Amino acid sequence: MKLTNKVIIVTGAGGGMGKAIALQLVERGAFVVGIDISVESLSDIQQDNFEAKVADVLDEQKISELFSEISNTHGKIDGLVNALGIAQSQTPIEEVSLEQWHRLLNVNATSLFITCKEAVKYMKPKRQGSIITIASISAVRPRPGLQSYIASKGAAESFSRAMAIELAPYSIRVNTIHPGPADTNMLGQFAEENADVTAMKDAVFKQSVPLGELIQPDDIAGAVVYLLSDGAKMVTGATLNVDGGRGL
């Protein structure tokens, strides 16, 4: 599936999934602008068709300026992939502060409002575009002690579906991917404080996946390539589970 000359923004491009997504998109001919809050995490992506931008996606003004600059430089924005996120370490609700709740909701859900609003400004006049949000299978198959993270991912999926119906008249497609437990830095951050993360990966996460393996970042990138491509031109408002059957 080719994405030649498509201009695609990937948030969280320095992370496990975001990086794999950015690299696969570049390989398929797209020009990718990768945004991440962490400078170091972006530094090892050196492809010609890749541009790194360091920004906190919650900084609305900076994101607005960035999207405007990208559109001015390239004449369009074809795609937006929301792949940033933060985890919650397993904690019972009575020990979670309101501040922690707000932080998870802000980073994982409010960030989507900010990036989608900006992308739509440039997609609507062209009457085309594709927006993909990485949510989580935990939104529909919860685990104990992750209530705030899971609420943020439920919001992400509902928001995507709401955007899909709102933007369909402009031929802008909006879809969600639900990864299962994935082999990235984030996975260990879901463990309880002081837990043995390596043991937990095998004993808890791997065993929760019917196909018996953790999801790899490239598995998610493959799904993103499909959803961005013309092969998915009639797919909108959909949620694609890339979870090894964890949601069953």
Cα distance between residue 149 and residue 190, in whole Å = 10
Cα distance between residue 180 and residue 206, in whole Å = 10
Candidate list 49, 60, 86, 208; residue touching ligand NAD; CB under 6 A: 86
Phi, psi of 133 (to 5 degrees): -120, 130
The answer to the question of residue 12 lying near ligand NAD (CB under 6 A) is yes
Query: Tell me, what DSSP letter sits at residue 237?
Result: S
Question: Catalytic site residue 149?
Answer: yes
Cα distance between residue 154 and residue 172, in whole Å = 22
Query: Tell me, what DSSP letter sits at residue 76?
Result: -
In the chain, the amino acid numbered 117 is K
Q: Could you tell me the smallest distance in angstroms from the CB atom of residue 140 to ligand NAD?
A: 12
The answer to the question of residue 179 lying near ligand NAD (CB under 6 A) is yes
Helix (H, G, I), strand (E, B) or coil at 125: helix
Q: Could you tell me the smallest distance in angstroms from the CB atom of residue 164 to ligand NAD?
A: 19
Binding positions for ligand NAD, 190-209, rule CB under 6 A: none
User: Which residues, other chains included, contact 212 with Cβ-Cβ below 8 Å and sequence gap of 6+?
Assistant: 206, 244
- Only one of the segments 93-101, 168-176, 178-186, 231-239 lies at the binding site for ligand NAD (rule: CB under 6 A); that segment is 178-186
Candidate list 24, 71, 88, 136; residue touching ligand NAD; CB under 6 A: 136
In this complex, which beta carbon is closest to ligand NAD, that of residue 193 or of residue 230? 193
Residue 43 token pair = 């530094």
Query: Tell me, what DSSP letter sits at residue 99?
Result: H
Candidate list 49, 58, 100, 121; residue touching ligand NAD; CB under 6 A: 58
The answer to the question of residue 43 lying near ligand NAD (CB under 6 A) is no
Residue 27 token pair = 């390989």
The answer to the question of residue 85 lying near ligand NAD (CB under 6 A) is yes
- Only one of the segments 22-30, 116-124, 174-182, 191-199 lies at the binding site for ligand NAD (rule: CB under 6 A); that segment is 174-182
Candidate list 36, 51, 157, 219; residue touching ligand NAD; CB under 6 A: 36
DSSP β-ladder status, 129-134 and 31-36: unpaired
Q: Which residue has the tokens 């792949």?
A: 83
Q: Which residue of the chain is nearest ligand NAD when measured via CB?
A: 15
Residue 210 token pair = 């019917």
Candidate list 38, 73, 97, 198; residue touching ligand NAD; CB under 6 A: 38
Residues contributing to the site for ligand NAD (CB under 6 A): 11-12, 14-18, 36-38, 41, 56-58, 83-86, 107, 134, 136, 179, 181-182, 184-187
**Active centre residues (catalytic):** 149
